Structure 1
Amino acid sequence: MRSIVDAYLKVGLVPMIVLALIVGTLIGVFAPAAGLSLGILGSIFVGALKAVAPVLVFVLVLAAVSGHKVGSDVRIKPIFVLYLIGTFSAALVAVGASFLFPTELALANMQAVEQAAPQSLREVLTNLLMNLVANPVKSLAEANYMGILTWAVLIGLALRHVAETTRQVVADLGTAVTSVVKWIIALAPFGILGLVASTVAETGVEALVGYARLLLVLVGSMLFIALVVNPIIVFAMTRKNPYPLVFTCLRESGVTAFFTRSSAANIPVNMNLARKLGLSEDTYSMTIPLGAAINMAGAAITINVLTLAAAHTLGIEVSFGSALLLAIVGSLSACGASGVAGGSLLLIPLACSLFNIPNDIAMQVVAIGFIIGVIQDSAETALNSSTDVLFTAAADPKFAHKG
């Protein structure tokens, strides 16, 4: 059994997901009955995601807040600000793209959701405030992500004043939960096989066309950030042509991140690139690891585009105020995205909760995210990781005054 598992892992997640997409589509088209039967695999996969996502969000935010060192070096502040500006800009672009190119998805059990849709920004804000003060145990059980975030932050702040060993236990717990998520995601090909086979059997190949449109909106938004918005931010900082630096970061960091699909795994590549660019080691040794954790423009795009796709599908009217609130929540959520492949997808239910979209529906959207994740997650990681070096260089006086 061990040898079979090792062989499976050796093949890699991306090739297995591609194979699952192809096989699932063929089964759904030519053997619909078998496709419907395989739907149980998709249900199990979505159920596992649904169970672990609330715990993952709580533990990761708790560990991040409690582990923050008071009095950290102030030299990282300008880069930290750039990270936040870049992530929020990406969220705004994602919202704009979603309104310009609205996408509808094939979802089940939509009737009850339409009745529960909020009718105004006031109702959205009221629901948000009530969710913030919900019982923490109930929040975890019912996947109330706003409540989960609130209590994770509050308990994390309290834990900053306890013994170092206690904070280390929290950090280790975060590592353990992340490992569980990795195990679940390792089984994604089987879940995707079942999801695709059953979806095609029920709705036909037309459902996959919606996924293609969704993927185009996602990747198009990411390219716009990488080639238009980020260069503008860099120019504002350096007053120099930003594109040589932008293309260097995309070529030497983005390409490797595209295939590793992990910002954390790409840290050594980024550190080496920062060294080649002649940046201050005292600066990049802190900002590169920090960026791998909180600089998540690609994740912000994923969260916002998929959430609005769910809203469009359910016929929910999204006002300007609601869209702006979603951009803010999506940006903050992205900063807490897990470092594992597909980690940003698990934060979609949090954003969906702003519009009273139930967890069952939100998790269907997460599953769709995994279906298109072969390209989406690779492009997202490439944008996230390459931007870590880009913004570090833009705010580094040693680089800004070169040439």
Structure 2
Amino acid sequence: MAKEFRIGLLPRIGIAIVAGILIGLFAPDWLTRIFVTFNVVFGQFLSFAIPLIIVGLITPAIASLGRGAGKWLGITAGIAYLSTLLAGLLALVVGVLVYPYILSVGNIEDQGNPEDALLAPFFKLEMPPVFSVMTALVLAFVLGVGLTITKGRALYDATVEFREIINKVISTIIIPLLPIYIFGIILNMTVAGEVFRVIGTFLSIIVLVFALTLVVLLVQYTIAGVMNKKNPLVMLKTMLPAYVTALGTSSSAATIPVTLRQAMKMGVSEPVAYFVVPLCATVHLAGSTLKITSFALAIMYISGIEINIGLMIGFVFMLGITMVAAPGVPGGAIVAASGLLTSMLGFTEPQVGLMIATYIAIDSFGTATNVTGDGALAAIVDKLSAGRFGSPRPVVIDRVSTDGEAEA
């Protein structure tokens, strides 16, 4: 019997992005609103599922570590925060050196929030999460570390079974529907015309930021490659599906299933992947920090605001912490950072609106840098642990294969 032909996840996502742009050029509003309605419902489901994914993956991963769980939790979080800080400081240094030559001081036109121009869904279906992302992280840490101390078998078995449920949700619902979700996002933004308008305003900054994200990824994977004695470019190529998925979802948390799969395909051990990837999806925000710092600095230059280097360094440090509280949804990082823009940098409402407009229009590139970097961090932790994570307690775990199907 001939093997059934399947289109892989990466080509499906690429098709969804191209189709969204092309169809968006002539699609009627009613057709667009159908996909917008689907996206709202699916987005609500993602918001509901993301905290459960974090608890379901991180808790048994920590519990399987045994003694020393707190140590590796601290090491992983420390590496992620260091990576985030260095990316933000890189953006600050490059901006201070380059912006005076490519930007001119003047008044900023209030372009507003691009979300105001997007078409509305036919209806909304609310699916409030059981708890927030931060609550999920704390709960996963408490349960996981607690299980390493008490060695309770019943509760551990329950977390493993819950992980199996989460894996089924990922492989049978989230992964198959991701291309449609991405298509809807691109379609709506194309119909609204917001992407091209905002990108045209800051084209030079966008090009610079994109180049900086590539530098960050190359540095991360060079370090990971040297430590693991692997070709950094081959490792980076393996993580490409995660990068492309994040381009469409604009959410590190929503891309966890793909990032997790590609990290293990890259050679990261299963216990480390299950521990590091969901954790870094929330605490590793190198791309987002780089992007927000770059655009905030650009708006300050254009507005004629005096640049205080000490204040900007403090802003970067606080930004890395504040965005951890960002919801695992598209645009969450800039929403969480808006308070810092106002309180620390003195941004006015129009300036914050311009930040939101620019960030949302190209949100996906920073997020893609975040999730792709998670693979490098997982490889680094895997090497540092040198097998100390051990093997998970015997359990059959459903993985997500490269074409989005479940496999034993």
TM-score, scaled relative to structure 2 = 0.56
Inter-CA distance 83–165: structure 2 relative to 1 (3 Å threshold): closer
Aligned residues: 318
Structure 1 gaps, min length 5 = 111-138, 235-241, 275-283, 335-343, 398-403
Whether the 8 Å contact between 1:91 and 1:301 is mirrored in structure 2 is yes
Post-superposition shift, 1:187? 0.5
Whether the 8 Å contact between 2:36 and 2:184 is mirrored in structure 1 is yes
Structure 1 position 175 matched with structure 2 position 160:
no
Post-superposition shift, 1:270? 3.1
Aligned equivalent of 2:237: 255
Aligned equivalent of 1:56: 49
Counterparts of residues 4-403 of structure 1 (less than 5 Å): 11-24=11-24, 27=25, 34=27, 39-40=32-33, 43-44=36-37, 46-48=39-41, 50-64=43-57, 66-70=59-63, 72-73=65-66, 82-96=75-89, 107-108=113-114, 141=128, 147-150=132-135, 153-154=138-139, 157=142, 163-179=155-171, 180-200=173-193, 205-209=196-200, 213-214=205-206, 216-218=208-210, 220-224=212-216, 226-227=218-219, 244=226, 248-259=230-241, 261=243, 262-271=258-267, 286-295=271-280, 300-305=285-290, 323-330=316-323, 332=324, 346=329, 348-349=331-332, 352-353=335-336, 355=338, 368=361, 372=364, 377=368, 380-393=370-383, 396=386
d(CA) in 1 for partners of 2:8 and 2:265?
Answer: 27
Inter-CA distance 21–268: structure 2 relative to 1 (3 Å threshold): same
SS in 2 for 1:248: coil
Post-superposition shift, 1:47? 1.8
Aligned equivalent of 1:131: none
Inter-CA distance 151–266: structure 2 relative to 1 (3 Å threshold): closer
d(CA) in 2 for partners of 1:208 and 1:298?
Answer: 28
d(CA) in 2 for partners of 1:193 and 1:16?
Answer: 8
Whether the 8 Å contact between 2:331 and 2:360 is mirrored in structure 1 is no
d(CA) in 1 for partners of 2:166 and 2:356?
Answer: 22
d(CA) in 2 for partners of 1:323 and 1:46?
Answer: 33
User: C-alpha root-mean-square deviation of aligned residues, in Å?
Assistant: 5.3
Q: Identity of aligned pairs, percent? A: 8
Post-superposition shift, 1:303? 3.9
Whether the 8 Å contact between 1:13 and 1:186 is mirrored in structure 2 is yes
Post-superposition shift, 1:140? 7.3
Inter-CA distance 296–214: structure 2 relative to 1 (3 Å threshold): farther
Aligned equivalent of 1:339: none
d(CA) in 1 for partners of 2:169 and 2:36?
Answer: 21
d(CA) in 2 for partners of 1:264 and 1:79?
Answer: 18
Post-superposition shift, 1:157? 3.5
AA aligned opposite 1:385: G
Structure 2 gaps, min length 5 = 117-125, 244-257, 306-310, 341-353, 388-408
Aligned equivalent of 1:400: none
CA-to-aligned-CA distance 1:88-109 (integer Å, 9 cap, x gap): 1232244345656599987336
Inter-CA distance 303–98: structure 2 relative to 1 (3 Å threshold): same
AA aligned opposite 1:149: M
CA-to-aligned-CA distance 1:130-170 (integer Å, 9 cap, x gap): xxxxxxxxx974x798x552266348746956634532453
Post-superposition shift, 1:257? 1.6
d(CA) in 2 for partners of 1:247 and 1:196?
Answer: 42
AA aligned opposite 1:167: T
Post-superposition shift, 1:220? 1.5
d(CA) in 2 for partners of 1:209 and 1:258?
Answer: 27
Whether the 8 Å contact between 2:39 and 2:181 is mirrored in structure 1 is no
d(CA) in 2 for partners of 1:223 and 1:91?
Answer: 13
Inter-CA distance 210–46: structure 2 relative to 1 (3 Å threshold): farther
Aligned equivalent of 1:127: none
d(CA) in 2 for partners of 1:39 and 1:295?
Answer: 34
d(CA) in 2 for partners of 1:326 and 1:187?
Answer: 32
Aligned equivalent of 2:405: none
d(CA) in 2 for partners of 1:174 and 1:19?
Answer: 30
CA-to-aligned-CA distance 1:308-345 (integer Å, 9 cap, x gap): 68978999x99765543330244x569xxxxxxxxx96
Post-superposition shift, 1:376? 6.3
Whether the 8 Å contact between 2:13 and 2:182 is mirrored in structure 1 is yes
TM-score, scaled relative to structure 1 = 0.56
SS in 2 for 1:40: helix
